[in-house]
């Protein structure tokens, strides 16, 4: 009896901790997936019991977490296999006595939210980490119906929240919590490429999986600048199905000796340490991790004025913005930064200071924990711990609006 007592106390302590379940689609290197891993690892284990889930555990971020449960959709979120997975997930949530279930992206929204309601999870949250214009009409309406079952929907930008409000989601159910930066984003790191005297490197960090990223626009601007400024080098970081076409475009523009393809790099701080300027010419963004990580590294950003970019970049102070698709202005801003190292230093320093003040993981972690605790109290769980189950799931100050 005496020997069993410590184990009983441990079990009692665990069951007394609130449970939160976080879920994502995969563990690829996309922005939502990276935020999922960052938040999941940051949650206070003394405050919550954290578990993770996903539709598929594929991707290089798998090594960044200890364990994760898989609930496959079977090829379609609307098919029989996906509903069988939802039933299995609901049983899992009941067995684990989850009190907070939080989906982090489109696919996990449609998987987790119905399952959590079926399991009578007290607090159910969805996430909206894009504007929504990249979803089909059917997908957007399906997600909106799922969101109506949520207690709150976490958006990472005011632009994303505004799109949901336009679709009929009540403003009071929308919460804006920005992406968080892990501590290593601010660390001094050896560069992924050796520094060369008098060379200015301009880089684009983005998966090569969708034309909306506008790699083509960056390469056309690079061709314009390369003819006039031999000191410029251009770097593309990322991989995907569009890479072969981009390599062909580089050859067509006669940039083969000036453009470096680095592939899929996980050590983004090391990549940024090798760059002088980063660009984000995408025609659709909610809140870009690349912008935030560049700011943390003190690298000035030139980005399209879309979505939540203007919520992060103070034009002319912590970066520069151009009209979406405006090749002339994009080229002019890059030329100005390339020729003025003092300006790059000043803007980069201001950007880093803002990133430290507003987007550190410690600050963002507290927003999430306050949200979870506050909703539990609303549900009458103020004095009852709730299990935090973190599954594979992503500017106010994290407050409910």
CATH of domain 5-180+361-378: 3.40.50.2000
Are 91 and 71 contacting, i.e. CB atoms less than 8 angstroms apart?
A: no
Q: Which residues contact 371 (CB under 8 A, 6 or more apart)?
A: 125, 152, 154, 175, 177, 398, 400
Q: Which tens digit of pLDDT belongs to each residue from 276-290?
A: 999 999 999 988 999
Position 389 scores a pLDDT of 55
Distance of alpha carbon 137 from alpha carbon 152, whole angstroms: 22
Give the pLDDT score at 11.
47
Evaluate whether the domain defined by 184-358 bears CATH number 3.40.50.10540: no
- What is residue 6's predicted lDDT score, i.e. its pLDDT? 35
CATH 3.40.50.2000 range(s) for the chain read 5-180+361-378, 184-358
Q: For the chain, list residues with pLDDT below 50.
A: 1-13, 384-386, 392-401
The beta-strand segments (E) located in 209-281 are 232-237, 259-263, 277-280
* pLDDT tens string 13-41: 455 788 999 999 999 988 889 999 999 99
C-alpha distances in Å from residue 98, one per residue of 89, 91, 93, 252, 322: 11, 11, 5, 55, 45
pLDDT at 390: 52
Nearest to 326 by CA among 351, 297, 302, 342: 302
Per-residue pLDDT at 131: 85
Alpha helices (H) along 323-360: 327-339, 341-358
In the chain, % of residues over pLDDT 70: 91
Those residues whose C-beta lies under 8 Å from the C-beta of residue 177, and which sit 6 or more positions away, are 154, 155, 156, 364, 367, 368, 371, 398
> Partners of 236 in the beta sheet?
204, 261
Q: Give the number of other Cβ atoms within 10 Å of residue 261's Cβ.
A: 14
Gap between the Cα atoms of 153 and 393, Å rounded: 13
In whole angstroms, give the CA distance from residue 322 to residue 345: 20
pLDDT for the residue numbered 2: 31
- The percent helix, strand, coil of the chain (3-state, each to 5) is 45, 15, 40
Confidence (pLDDT) at 13: 45
């Amino acid at each position: 009896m005496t020997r069993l007592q410590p184990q009983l106390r441990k079990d009692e302590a665990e069951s007394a901790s609130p449970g939160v379940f976080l879920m994502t689609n995969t563990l690829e290197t996309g922005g939502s997936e990276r935020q999922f891993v960052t938040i999941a690892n940051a949650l206070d284990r003394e405050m919550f019991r954290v578990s993770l889930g996903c539709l598929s555990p594929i991707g290089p971020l798998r090594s960044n977490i200890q364990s994760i449960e898989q609930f496959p959709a079977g090829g379609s979120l609307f098919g029989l296999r996906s509903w069988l997975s939802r039933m299995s997930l609901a049983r899992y949530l009941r067995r684990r006595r989850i009190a907070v279930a939080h989906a982090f992206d489109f696919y996990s929204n449609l998987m987790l939210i119905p399952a959590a309601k079926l399991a009578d999870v007290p607090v159910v949250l969805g996430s909206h980490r894009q504007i929504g214009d990249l979803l089909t009409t059917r997908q957007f309406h399906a997600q909106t119906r799922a969101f109506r079952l949520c207690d709150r929907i976490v958006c990472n930008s005011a632009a994303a929240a505004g799109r949901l409000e336009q679709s009929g989601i009540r403003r009071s159910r929308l919460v804006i919590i920005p992406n968080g930066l892990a501590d290593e984003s601010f660390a001094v790191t050896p560069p992924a490429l050796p520094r060369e005297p008098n060379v200015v490197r301009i880089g684009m960090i983005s998966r090569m999986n969708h034309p909306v990223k506008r790699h083509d626009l960056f390469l056309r601007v690079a061709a314009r600048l390369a003819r006039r400024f031999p000191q410029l080098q251009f770097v593309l970081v990322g991989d995907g199905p569009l890479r072969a076409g981009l390599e062909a475009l580089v050859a067509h523009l006669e940039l083969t000796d000036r453009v470096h393809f680095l592939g899929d790099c996980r050590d983004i701080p090391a990549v940024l340490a090798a760059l002088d300027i980063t660009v984000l010419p995408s025609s659709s963004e909610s809140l870009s991790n690349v912008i935030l990580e560049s700011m943390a590294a003190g690298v000035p950003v030139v980005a399209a004025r879309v979505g939540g970019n203007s919520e992060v970049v103070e034009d002319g102070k912590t970066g520069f913005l151009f009209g979406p698709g405006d090749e002339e202005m994009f080229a002019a801003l890059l030329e100005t930064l390339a020729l003025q190292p003092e300006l790059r230093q000043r803007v980069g320093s201001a950007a880093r200071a803002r990133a430290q003040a507003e987007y550190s993981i410690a600050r963002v972690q507290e927003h999430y924990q306050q949200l979870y605790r506050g909703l539990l109290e609303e549900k009458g769980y103020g004095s009852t711990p709730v299990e935090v189950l973190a599954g594979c799931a992503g500017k106010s100050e994290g407050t409910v609006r």
